[in-house]
Homo-oligomer: A and B are copies of this chain.
């Protein structure tokens, strides 16, 4: 049924519009200072309708945090831990990651909120943690390979991965979002330094 299909399309689009505005507002003003009414207004729909798509404010926040994670995971995890030239692979992904974080300032504000109040948002925190653990594990393998090949000095590869994620998030936090993208690129060598490239 084509009619029903187009209806479904419309609803999907509406849902996404709400979600996008919610991410924006939750990021900017935090959970409590973002009211359903504001989200509705920003989305151009009645606030009653928000509840058609998200049964509670809590759920809206949950979706705002979790749903974008898939795409981000795709980009973040898109590397080969068994790459021939681990250091080159590292350089490549560091550039990609930094570009990504520079773009994602809005969403990452959400992430920071969740991490900062892990007891309040424990479910979302767990999910982010799972991503974090998976990412660090995969990255640590690449690092180890780099060490085996003598491209990197010997360090604990998991701590190296942790440090890397911390740096990325820390940079994001430090108002560097006012920097334009070129400036973000300045941080690439420092991120690489973390891994201890042999010189």
Write the residues of chain A forming the contact surface with B, with a CB cutoff of 8 angstroms.
28-33, 109, 112-113, 115-120, 129, 132, 153, 155-156, 159-160, 162-163, 165-171, 173-176, 186-187, 189-191, 193-196, 198-199
Contacts and interface: CB of A to CB of B under 8 A. Distances in A.
Contacts of A160: 190
A interface, over-half SS? helix
A100 to B, nearest CB: 16
- Ranked 8 nearest A-B pairs via Cβ: A170-B170, A166-B170, A32-B32, A163-B190, A166-B171, A169-B170, A167-B167, A193-B193
A116 B120 contact: no
A189 B194 CA distance: 9
A164 to B, nearest CB: 9
B162 A169 contact: no
B155 A29 contact: no
Contacts of A191: 163
Given A112-B112, A155-B190, A193-B193, A29 B117 contact: yes
